[in-house]
Amino acid sequence: MQDIKSQLNSSKAPGGKTLAPQTLLRALQELANTGDGPDRVAYFLKFWAGFLEEPLEEATKGAIKLYDSPIYRTQLEILGGGKPLGPFQDIQNYVRLAWKGNEAAIGALLQLGFGKGKSNLVLPDWRRSGFRYMPRTNFQAAVYELLKHSRQARVCLNPDCASPYFIAHDPRRKFCSPECAAPFQKEWKRRWWKRKGKLWRKARKERGATVSKQSKKRGGKR
């Protein structure tokens, strides 16, 4: 059976505009990385006008609910720092959990916006021998796009990174940027040199001696 295909109903998307997949991921990434300050939140809402309009309305009504499991509640408490959260921060923290692979958070976000009397449009697709997911908003389409790129979703290993959530096109990549990787690469080199520098110098010296002897031999035959 094939994977669920996504089709956005643009007539119900914010502003009636369907965003491209890369733009959807960028919007979700910027949402995850937006700082806690009111000015940063206001900037996001202005720049991505309409992207969170309906999700925020649903979140205000208390529509976001994770499965009743202590581990998920604990993760949200850690992200929220024990402080009362508003609708924007609730959605943002769920997106951050989703970015880390929390399937309950992904499920909750995919349904956000489907209130009472609304249907979550996962429809059978006979031609493709599978299902077709039809998100009602760009936000839902963005969450589904993240799910499709789950193997590329990363959280920068630099604990001081201001924007740790990113998409890695190289599976070996663990840092969001060379700037974040630089101090750790320097520390790794320092530790490597401390552990193996003596052996490396010895091996280099021996190779140099061998090359010198070979050069003398070749010179003596002339």
Does 208 have pLDDT greater than 60?
A: no
- pLDDT over 90, % of the chain: 29
At residue 68, the pLDDT reads 53
At residue 47, the pLDDT reads 94
Label residue 3 by pLDDT band (50, 70, 90): very low
At residue 133, the pLDDT reads 84
Question: Where are the chain's structural domains?
Answer: 5-169, 177-222
Tell me how crowded residue 158 is: count the other CB atoms within 10 A of its CB. Answer: 18
- How far is C-alpha 95 from the geometric centre of its chain's CA atoms? 9
Helix H or strand E encompassing 130 = strand 130-133
In angstroms, the CA 115 to CA 118 distance is: 5
In angstroms, the CA 130 to CA 123 distance is: 9
Q: How far, in Å, are 79, 93, 203 from residue 84 at the CA level?
A: 11, 12, 60
In angstroms, the CA 111 to CA 114 distance is: 6
At residue 164, the pLDDT reads 95
Q: What is the pTM of this model?
A: 0.72
At residue 182, the pLDDT reads 83
* DSSP alpha helix (H) spans, the chain: 21-33, 38-47, 53-60, 70-80, 87-99, 103-111, 138-148, 178-221
In angstroms, the CA 156 to CA 20 distance is: 25
